């Protein structure tokens, strides 16, 4: 259920136009797809209104209090890895969430969790050859 959200006013207009013509004509007139018109009409037939239906979205796995505890733990030690943080939250606060949920909460606060790029180990011979190369330039 993705796509661009249509205003309630436009949906109501589609329903009014439906009495006068077919969905194809409505789609052309309002410059939307036939599928959009069809889904608005189907929703109107099923629920008898065109406004958004409350409670049909996915619920959050954590409460606001749980989110604050997670964020507090992340801010206290940003270097702590997520599995260790998960174990600590289970033990201390009885918060049982997946690692991905913890990553999402950390990301929402601004902790990206990126690692620095691995640098090559510079041996004595490679340092010497790069120094000789720089001297030539």
Burial degree of 11 (CB within 10 A; 0-12, 13-18, 19+): buried
* Tens-digit pLDDT profile for residues 96-137: 999 999 999 999 888 887 766 777 777 888 888 888 888 887
Of the pLDDT bands very low, low, confident and very high (cuts 50, 70, 90), residue 93 is confident
- Residue 84 to residue 76: CA distance in whole angstroms: 14
pTM of the model: 0.48
125 membership: H or E segment, kind and range: helix 124-136
Of the pLDDT bands very low, low, confident and very high (cuts 50, 70, 90), residue 56 is low
């Amino acid at each position: 259920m993705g796509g661009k959200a249509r205003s309630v006013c436009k949906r109501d207009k589609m329903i009014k136009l439906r009495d006068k013509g077919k969905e194809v004509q409505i789609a052309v007139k309002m410059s939307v797809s036939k599928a959009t018109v069809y889904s608005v009409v189907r929703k109107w037939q099923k629920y008898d209104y065109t406004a958004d239906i409350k409670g049909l979205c996915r619920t959050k796995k954590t409460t606001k209090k749980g989110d604050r505890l997670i964020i507090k733990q992340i801010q206290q030690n940003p270097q702590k890895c997520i599995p260790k943080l998960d174990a600590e939250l289970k033990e201390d606060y009885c918060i049982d969430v997946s690692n991905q949920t913890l990553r999402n909460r950390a990301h929402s606060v601004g902790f990206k969790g990126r690692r620095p790029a691995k640098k090559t180990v510079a041996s004595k011979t490679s340092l010497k050859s790069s120094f000789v190369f720089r001297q030539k330039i």
